[in-house]
Structure 1
Amino acid sequence: MFLTRRHVTGLLLSALAPLPTLAAPAHPRDAVAGQVLQTWYRLVLELVRHTATYSPPVAARAFACLGLTAWEVLAGLAPAARKSLAGQVTALTPPPAPDTAEGADPAAALHGALTVAIKHYFGNTGPTGQRAMRAMETRLAELAGEGLPPDTLTRSLEHGRDVALHIIAWARDDGGETIENMGFPLEWSLTDGPAHWVPTSKIVQQQAPLLPSWASNRPMAMARADACGLAAPPAYSEEPGSPFHIEAVEVYETVRNLTPEQKIIARFWSDDPMLSPTPPGHWISILLEIADRDALPVDRLADALARLGIAISDAFIACWQTKYQYDLLRPVTYIRRVIDKDWEPLLITPPFPEYPSGHSSQSGAAAAVLTAIFGENFAFDDATHEDDGLPVRSFSSFAAAADEAAVSRLYGGIHFRSAIERGLEQGACVGAAVNRLVTFQ
């Protein structure tokens, strides 16, 4: 994989792009706060694309931490109107409050917090990303500080910094802080037996699976990693007519007979690391487009970003717990072994076990929380990959988008149907856990 000139240019241009225009709120500084929040997040989508360690689970964790940071900054400024997630999200204690009765400015506080947080979570990004972060910091400092008395500006930046450092310290021992060798263990022993995962790539690093211990990370809303566990997949069998063989034939025949529309769907939702903002970033992109279209107030956007971030992060913990519990082989392995040794899927198979589909789990969770926020029949357009030459897609609901994201993995030849459908069920379970948090009632 390599970064095209368009991708590198896009990263720099995102730091210079026009600021989003939000509806005029009751308090004019809230509009500036919304611009700060959206603009930093737009850059984060590009940083995810350009940071080599950011596989989907790692990206999901960062989105959760950033969403928590933004929410807790605003909750600290208006505790009567916004309830902190402390005491609800696992092991999170109350962040520092502004240190004077005068409080702090929301735009400057968000800028102070996100500057610290993004530099931390993307400290290992490359030179282009580092330049983009510095440019964004300078640009948004001017916007956030415009017209503020010096003492208010200082107090606000310090409040944001203190909250960001509190969340960073809380997340440091969650199990996901350090990613070594791009997430691939240096030593790994494959499980014996025909049903189990084997490498599908010739890349040396990928002879071991990605992040096999991710399920040991601390969940945020779920009580434990297996709280949304799944029943076993269909029993492995090479017998024609068996449930397992039937699912494999479906993948085989589907890929052999793809329509042009199905190929577009497979590529639209593929969201490969280093070539996209990853699947979690795709859902963040959808939310930012809705925020821009509907001029969401900053507190509603922060609520949605926190809820969505927690949901997709916990979804990957749940999904990885199930993946490594069953350690099931991928369709490409089975089909070449049993049906057609020369078969090729449309998409490259990711380097980790099959069941369930990560796209399904995180999309099911995303749809659950976004539906709780915006409603069941909330139509929207998804232009996440418009700059990549893929057409804008339109959806009648978040559930419809999640269903398409899930089935895209069948079209790509990546997953069996049971992994797709049960992954959506797992995601719905994770989303329900997030929606039960008192703050989001």
Structure 2
Amino acid sequence: MKQLSSILILCLVLLVSCGTKHNQEGLDAYFEGGLSNYNRQLTNVIVADIFTPPVASRIYAYSNVAAYEGIRFADASKESLVSKLNDLDKLSEPEAGKKYYYPLVSAVAFMNVGKALVFDLDKVEAIKSSMLTEVKDIGIDEAVYQNSVSFGEKLATEILSWAAKDGYLRRTALPRYSVSDDAGRWRPTPPDYMEAIEPHWNTIRPFVLESAGQFDPGLPTAFNIEKDSKFYEEAVEVYETVNKLDDKQLEVAKFWDCNPNISHTKGHVMYFQQQISPGGHWMHIAAQVLEEEKADGVTAAETMSLLGVTIADAFISCWDQKYKSSLTRPETYINNYIDQDWEPILQTPAFPEHTSGHSVASSAAATALTELFGENYAFVDATEVPYGLPPRSFQSFWQAAEEAAISRLYGGIHYRPAIELGVAQGKAVGGFVIKRLKSD
């Protein structure tokens, strides 16, 4: 009888053991390309929530910093971003004697931070719950599971505490943009005449930059309505470019539109079309490249965090100049002084003209990605396929960035100086961030 009892106990132990077996290969396969996928899912929420480009960049940055800090312990050569990012002084580390599965730590940290920064919390929570269920189904040691989830949640809490002090909430109490009679000053544009978006974004704490105005690109050409003036000449260039646009230029303009919320009016009915933001477009380019390279989880997190921070600082820098110069858009100027019936190809965004956000963000992103993947990294950009546009091929990140920049002239929403100075501004921001974060 005792022998039978021993056999039954042994069988139960074996069954329990099999049920909690740590399936390393299965888990590794499951998390391969995980961060790219999670960023895409986060993008879906960002697009549906209609976040503005600057706000979207902030969400990507904090979420991916959390992901990196959660997985970096899997590679002893990787350093924390603590002390490299402004005011990030301390983060928790793994407890001695406990075992963790760091891809799971990273995923939990990413999703908890992302969930706290969007409106549709339930959507992100559903993504996280599905991930945790699948991880358990694959097979993971219970203690490792609990340690990893707890550590990821702790890191997320600390990242969110850091984020809460960046001025994001405080900016909402600041005065709205004031429209004046100054003809050279920005004013709301057709068709919706929306009020200015994020006029105080330069009060947000930068991630790496020393200040929002550190890489100020300089003022635009002085406003002038005289036909022999430089400013009039720049406006005419926009006017004539749009009027003579060829099919290839039209494709470029539409591909890089990236306006998160375009309005359409049919009769008395208005509806809105949501799209990916400029920063989100570049995050997707990186996600695609990482998948094609079959990058390991640590490399992927390092890349996405570095790129996210770079783009976020690019928007802070760009928005600082936008509301310093507060320059009127081509649509307003051309309608008032050249052709009252003229319309741009793209819908004019609701913020001042100088400098071009696409130019700054794209050149900053290209600077970062070129540093990580090389000067002549050819790729096919399929980011816009879900939004009904075909993929485009590029021979380098810089070729893509330059096309994104000039697309704003083709679209009729920027003068040339905003594009050219914006590219230089973004390159300076990107170079500074890379140097600071990649230095040993």
Give yes or no for TM over 0.5.
yes
Match of 2:155 among 151, 154, 163: 163
Cα deviation code 1:277-321 (max 9, x no counterpart): 211110011111112222111111111101110011000100000
SS of residue paired to 2:238: helix
- Listed as ranges, the matches of 1:348-387 within 5 Å are 348-387=347-386
In the alignment, structure 2 segments of 5+ residues that lack a partner are: 1-23, 262-273
- Listed as ranges, the matches of 1:231-380 within 5 Å are 231-274=218-261, 275-380=274-379
Contact 1:316 1:358 in 2 (8 A): yes
Aligned residue identity for 2:64:
G
SS of residue paired to 2:90: coil
> Is residue 411 from structure 1 mapped to residue 410 from structure 2 by the alignment?
yes
Match of 2:71 in 1: 74
> Is residue 49 from structure 1 mapped to residue 36 from structure 2 by the alignment?
no
SS of residue paired to 1:160: helix
> Is residue 152 from structure 1 mapped to residue 144 from structure 2 by the alignment?
yes
Question: Taking structure 1 as reference, are residues 27 and 74 closer, same or farther at Cα in structure 2, changes over 3 Å only?
Answer: farther
Between the aligned partners of 1:69 and 1:433, the Cα distance in structure 2 is 21
Contact 1:228 1:429 in 2 (8 A): yes
Match of 1:11 in 2: none
SS of residue paired to 2:147: helix
Between the aligned partners of 1:35 and 1:289, the Cα distance in structure 2 is 9
Match of 2:215 in 1: 228
Between the aligned partners of 2:33 and 2:154, the Cα distance in structure 1 is 21
- Deviation of the 1:103 alpha carbon: 4.0
Question: Taking structure 1 as reference, are residues 398 and 35 closer, same or farther at Cα in structure 2, changes over 3 Å only?
Answer: closer
- RMSD of aligned alpha carbons: 2.1
TM-score, normalising length: structure 2? 0.87
- Deviation of the 1:76 alpha carbon: 4.2
- Deviation of the 1:108 alpha carbon: 1.8
> Is residue 172 from structure 1 mapped to residue 172 from structure 2 by the alignment?
no
In the alignment, structure 1 segments of 5+ residues that lack a partner are: 1-25
- Deviation of the 1:246 alpha carbon: 1.3
Between the aligned partners of 1:284 and 1:337, the Cα distance in structure 2 is 38
Between the aligned partners of 2:171 and 2:248, the Cα distance in structure 1 is 37
Question: Taking structure 1 as reference, are residues 177 and 71 closer, same or farther at Cα in structure 2, changes over 3 Å only?
Answer: farther
SS of residue paired to 2:393: strand
- Deviation of the 1:115 alpha carbon: 2.8
- Listed as ranges, the matches of 1:93-242 within 5 Å are 93-122=89-118, 124-125=119-120, 130=122, 132-145=123-136, 146-177=138-169, 187-201=176-190, 203=192, 206=194, 208-242=195-229
Aligned residue identity for 2:115:
K
Contact 1:175 1:216 in 2 (8 A): yes
SS of residue paired to 1:336: helix
Contact 1:73 1:163 in 2 (8 A): yes
Between the aligned partners of 2:97 and 2:185, the Cα distance in structure 1 is 60
Contact 2:72 2:79 in 1 (8 A): yes
SS of residue paired to 1:394: strand
Question: Taking structure 1 as reference, are residues 202 and 258 closer, same or farther at Cα in structure 2, changes over 3 Å only?
Answer: closer
Contact 2:63 2:111 in 1 (8 A): no
Aligned residue identity for 1:68:
V
Contact 1:74 1:82 in 2 (8 A): no
SS of residue paired to 2:367: helix
Aligned residue identity for 1:45:
T
Between the aligned partners of 1:177 and 1:223, the Cα distance in structure 2 is 21
Cα deviation code 1:363-392 (max 9, x no counterpart): 011000000000010000001111322111
Cα deviation code 1:338-371 (max 9, x no counterpart): 1111111111101110000001010011000000
Aligned residue identity for 2:375:
E
Between the aligned partners of 1:135 and 1:268, the Cα distance in structure 2 is 31
Match of 2:12 in 1: none
Between the aligned partners of 2:134 and 2:106, the Cα distance in structure 1 is 12
Question: Taking structure 1 as reference, are residues 28 and 424 closer, same or farther at Cα in structure 2, changes over 3 Å only?
Answer: farther
Aligned residue pairs: how many? 404
Contact 1:77 1:103 in 2 (8 A): no
Percent identity over the alignment? 36
- Deviation of the 1:187 alpha carbon: 4.2
Contact 1:30 1:106 in 2 (8 A): no
TM-score, normalising length: structure 1? 0.87
**Radius of gyration: which is bigger?**
2
Question: Taking structure 1 as reference, are residues 438 and 39 closer, same or farther at Cα in structure 2, changes over 3 Å only?
Answer: closer
Contact 1:30 1:297 in 2 (8 A): no
- Deviation of the 1:148 alpha carbon: 1.8
Between the aligned partners of 1:63 and 1:323, the Cα distance in structure 2 is 22
Contact 1:117 1:168 in 2 (8 A): yes
Between the aligned partners of 2:246 and 2:432, the Cα distance in structure 1 is 37
Aligned residue identity for 1:338:
Y
